[in-house]
């Protein structure tokens, strides 16, 4: 199959699920120079564009590609620390870091490939100092790498923040058109309050998104509120804990909560008052339920957050806390966990992630004007809950082709 970003092509399938509008039988997408020009019946679009090549998948369903709102590429299944408790797992992870350097790049390549083969088209990745950017950029995915920084390794809060801003700008040079480098304030227990506040201000000045792991574990709640617990044992030098408030309230106090911020997890200790703060600030959430399950981090109040108008996307996190980079599999887990409909799940995995990342004008649904970011799934759902059937197929290895900006970056079909 020719793989060209230029020219025109029609992608069509037995069922087309645009997410932004009802499913279409024998639906088609006209793509020109990577963007969607029209969505409609195959018969009509084919008739109106007789010279355009048609790639028709009669027994398949075309859906928007998955938008992974929170992931780490630099892990592999092998050597994963035991789960059960967050602090226990994190302590082991830190012990493994020196040995991990030898294989991080290879893991990042493999993880990006696994995500693509599961229908992912956009990924918000977080890695120390943006170390996984090369592998994301060469994978064919669209996405943003959020460079994490650890102020104690650098200097004063001012020096640390200016360092990571300069680093992200440098990383951002010469990238493919749909790949960016932004910044992550890793967490309330690794980045001090002053560095957090400065990073929040500086990234907003740059017009960047900002990622933070927030309210993930009971240990984090204890660290922020009481200055005690398992994380204090690991990060004994980090003396700013014990502020008597929840992680969400703390994050608000250092200006971390804003529409440009994506708060990953929000799994443990998120009160109704916290949900109100999150809603008022316009912050987005990335829901990683399998990682939360593995690390004993409880269940994120996702239905309540959605009900309060908070933008929620799905995230796989990384392979040391999660079984796969398949965002549709992550989403099916969430659908079962929260008793959601398949339609809600499919929306969370696609448009929800795009909204959370502020890129819903560019991707997340199959609509004219957006990039042609598509997943071709081996299923022909009929009655009942067709979106759930598609999620189940995509979760179970049923993605047959992945298209990013009109470019076929994965195709296991003949032709």
Q: How far is the CB of 148 from Zn ion (least distance, A)?
A: 9
Q: How far is the CB of 310 from Zn ion (least distance, A)?
A: 18
Least distance (Å) from Zn ion to the CB of residue 234?
16
| Cβ nearer to Zn ion, comparing 222 with 317 | 317
Q: Which is nearer to Zn ion, 40 or 128 (CB)?
A: 128
The nearest distance, CB 288 to Zn ion, in angstroms, is 7
The 3-class secondary structure across 298-326, one letter per residue, is CCCCHHHHHHCCCCEEECCECCCCCCCCC
148 binding Zn ion? (CB under 5 A): no
Task: Pick between residue 93 and residue 400 the one whose CB is nearest to Zn ion.
Answer: 93
Measured between alpha carbons, how far is 305 from 189 in angstroms, rounded to an integer? 24
**Integer angstrom CA distances of residue 188 from 130, 192, 239, 262:** 19, 7, 12, 14
| 260 forms part of the interface with Zn ion (CB under 5 A) | no
Could you say whether residue 125 binds Zn ion (CB under 5 A)? no
Token duo for residue 58 = 């009669």
Least distance from Zn ion to the Cβ atom of residue 213, Å: 5
Report the alpha-carbon distance of residue 289 to residue 299 in Å, rounded: 7
Residue 394 · residue 63 · CB < 8 Å: yes
Total residues belonging to the chain: 415
- In DSSP terms, 408 is beta-bridged to 403
Asked if 216 interacts with Zn ion (CB under 5 A), we say no
Using CB under 5 A as the binding criterion, the count of chain residues that bind Zn ion stands at 1
Is 260 or 317 the residue whose CB approaches Zn ion more closely?
A: 317
Residue nearest to Zn ion (CB): 317
Residue numbers 295-324 binding Zn ion by CB under 5 A: 317
Considering beta carbons, is residue 247 or 386 the nearer one to Zn ion?
Answer: 247
Closer by beta carbon to Zn ion, 262 or else 354: 262
DSSP states along 142-172: EEEEEEE--GGGT-SHHHHHHHHHHHHHHHT
Q: Work out how close the CB of 126 gets to Zn ion at its nearest, in angstroms, rounded to a whole number.
A: 6
Strand partners, 66: 120
CB of 356 vs Zn ion, minimal distance in Å? 14
Closer to Zn ion by CB, 27 or 143: give it: 143
Within 8 A by CB and 6+ apart from 168, the residues are 130, 147, 181, 182, 183, 206, 208
Write out the residues near Zn ion by the rule CB under 5 A. 317
């Amino acid at each position: 199959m020719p793989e060209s970003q230029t020219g025109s092509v029609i992608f069509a399938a037995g069922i087309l699920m645009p997410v932004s509008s009802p499913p279409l039988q024998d639906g088609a997408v006209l793509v020109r120079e990577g963007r969607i020009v029209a969505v409609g019946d195959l018969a009509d679009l084919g008739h109106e564009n007789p010279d355009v090549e048609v790639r028709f998948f009669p027994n398949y369903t075309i859906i928007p590609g998955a938008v992974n709102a929170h992931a780490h590429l630099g892990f592999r299944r092998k050597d994963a620390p035991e789960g059960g408790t967050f602090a226990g797992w994190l302590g082991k992870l830190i012990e493994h870091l020196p040995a991990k350097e030898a294989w991080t790049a290879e893991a990042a390549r493999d993880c990006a490939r696994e995500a693509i083969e599961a229908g992912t088209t956009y990924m918000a990745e977080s890695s120390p100092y943006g170390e996984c950017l090369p592998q994301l950029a060469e994978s064919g995915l669209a996405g943003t790498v959020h460079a994490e920084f650890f102020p104690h390794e650098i200097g004063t809060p001012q020096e640390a923040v200016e360092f990571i801003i300069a680093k992200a700008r440098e990383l951002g040079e010469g990238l493919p058109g749909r790949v960016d480098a932004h910044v992550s304030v890793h967490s309330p227990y690794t980045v001090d309050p002053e560095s957090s506040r400065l990073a929040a201000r500086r990234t907003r000045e740059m017009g960047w998104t900002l990622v933070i792991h927030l309210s993930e574990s009971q240990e984090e709640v204890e660290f922020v509120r009481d200055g005690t617990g398992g994380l204090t044992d690991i990060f004994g030098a980090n003396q700013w804990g014990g502020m008597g408030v929840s992680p969400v309230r703390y994050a608000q106090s250092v200006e971390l909560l804003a529409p440009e911020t994506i708060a990953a997890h929000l799994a443990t200790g998120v009160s109704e008052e916290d949900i109100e703060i999150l809603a008022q600030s316009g912050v987005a959430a990335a829901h990683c339920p399998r990682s939360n399950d593995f690390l004993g981090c409880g269940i994120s109040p996702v239905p309540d957050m959605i009900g309060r108008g908070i933008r929620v996307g799905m995230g796989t996190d990384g392979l040391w806390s999660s079984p796969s980079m398949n965002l549709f599999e992550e989403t099916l887990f969430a659908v079962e966990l929260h008793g959601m409909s398949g339609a809600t799940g499919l929306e969370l995995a696609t448009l929800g992630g795009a909204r959370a990342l502020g890129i819903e004008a560019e991707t997340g649904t199959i609509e004219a004007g957006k990039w042609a970011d598509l997943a071709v799934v081996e299923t022909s759902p009929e009655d009942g809950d067709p979106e759930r059937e598609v999620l189940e197929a995509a979760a179970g290895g049923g993605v047959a082709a992945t298209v990013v900006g009109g470019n076929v970056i994965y195709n296991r079909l003949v032709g």
